Structure 1
Amino acid sequence: MKKSGALVIGKKRRGENEVMTWKAPEEGWCKVNVDGACTTSCGVQVVACGGLLRNHQGTFLQGFMMKTCSTFECNNCTRHATNHARGLGDAQLWGCLLGLKTSWDFGVRKLVIETTDPTAAIVAMNHPGSLEESSKRPQERDWTMVSEIQQLLERSWEVRVTVVNRDFNVAAHALAQAALSCASGFQWLHSLPPHVLEVVLREASSGNKKVR
């Protein structure tokens, strides 16, 4: 666990008898779960992300989905794989950035953000030195997004960043996958798609929390 100012970065491990499901934050805190998705084929790459904000009671507060498309020169398998890896990395960063923005704009000042991508969590959010240290590999990340994330984290609030197994992040994963099939651009979600709402209700039930 690394702590820097109001920022805490950690990795959530499964307990011996722990149920693999989303866990509500402590009272007074909110949690935003984020995830990214990417498809790459025939020189076209689709990058998407999704996230949802819930309070300590498990109540859904706000959600989002985002999708962008780009083209690239596809002439060998290695480049295809590299582009896919970069696209997925960018998708995870977009999720973290938009998750932070969504939470701040909603008025949250004590936040847990959960992601399945340790690189996005540690590289982007281990401020401020990580940007300089990791800039040796700028081709792997969009450093404009990294800078925006770090600026958000410098605001007057408490943020805990946790890397979790996908079993703890099912709803966000479902939103990211759904975003792949949506129109390009950003969407606020004031209600959840039925299949994602079903996941949220099931997670709340498993954690003995109430969803309204």
Structure 2
Amino acid sequence: MTVGWKLASTGWITVNSDGSLLRRSGSTTAGGALRDWQGHLLGAYTMNLGRCFITRAEIWGALKGLKLAWEACHRQVELQLDSKTALALLLHSGRHSHQHANLAIRFQNMLRREWYVRVTHLEPI
């Protein structure tokens, strides 16, 4: 499956994050890129997460991308994810009674900061 990214609106940046699972070893990673509205690379990141569920890797990737955007003083951010499952857990898990609840709560707390964050789902191309 191929997933692309979309340019952000003028004045915004894009954080495009993803998680990855190596089925043979069970090892997971997360990574992403930060780009300005013209597509210029502002930064990139990777994380080796060891053995965990792919959804957890997707969530860690989103958290790391937002953290880097915040630390770089970007206050208009579009976070792009390709995982519908991770997106649903981050945005719509009211009671946070799932195994990724601690990360979902951290994500919600990040969204409450003084900035604008749009979270979007990317469809395969």
> Which bin holds the TM-score, normalised by the shorter protein?
0.7 to 0.9
Tell me which protein shows more helix as a share of its residues.
1
**Deviation at residue 21 of structure 1 after TM alignment:** 4.8
Structure 1 counterpart of 2:36: 55
Structure 2 counterpart of 1:78: none
Asked whether the equivalents of residues 131 and 146 of structure 1 are also in contact (C-alpha less than 8 Å), the reply is: no
Structure 2 counterpart of 1:118: 84
Give the whole-Å Cα distance in 2 for the aligned partners of 1:68 and 1:22.
23
**Deviation at residue 24 of structure 1 after TM alignment:** 1.2
RMSD: 1.8
Identity of aligned residues (%): 30
- Give TM-score, length-normalised by structure 1: 0.54
**Deviation at residue 57 of structure 1 after TM alignment:** 1.1
Asked whether the equivalents of residues 124 and 131 of structure 1 are also in contact (C-alpha less than 8 Å), the reply is: no
Asked whether the equivalents of residues 28 and 57 of structure 2 are also in contact (C-alpha less than 8 Å), the reply is: yes
Tell me which protein shows more strand as a share of its residues.
2
**Deviation at residue 125 of structure 1 after TM alignment:** 2.7
Larger C-alpha radius of gyration, 1 or 2?
1
Moved over 4 A (4+): none
**Structure 1 segments unaligned to the other structure (5+ residues):** 1-19, 71-85, 168-212
1:158 aligned to 2:112? no
- Give TM-score, length-normalised by structure 2: 0.88
DSSP-derived class of the 1:155 partner: coil
Give the whole-Å Cα distance in 1 for the aligned partners of 2:32 and 2:75.
17
Give the whole-Å Cα distance in 2 for the aligned partners of 1:100 and 1:144.
16
**Deviation at residue 148 of structure 1 after TM alignment:** 1.1
What amino acid does structure 2 have at the position aligned with 1:148? Answer: R
**Structure 2 segments unaligned to the other structure (5+ residues):** none
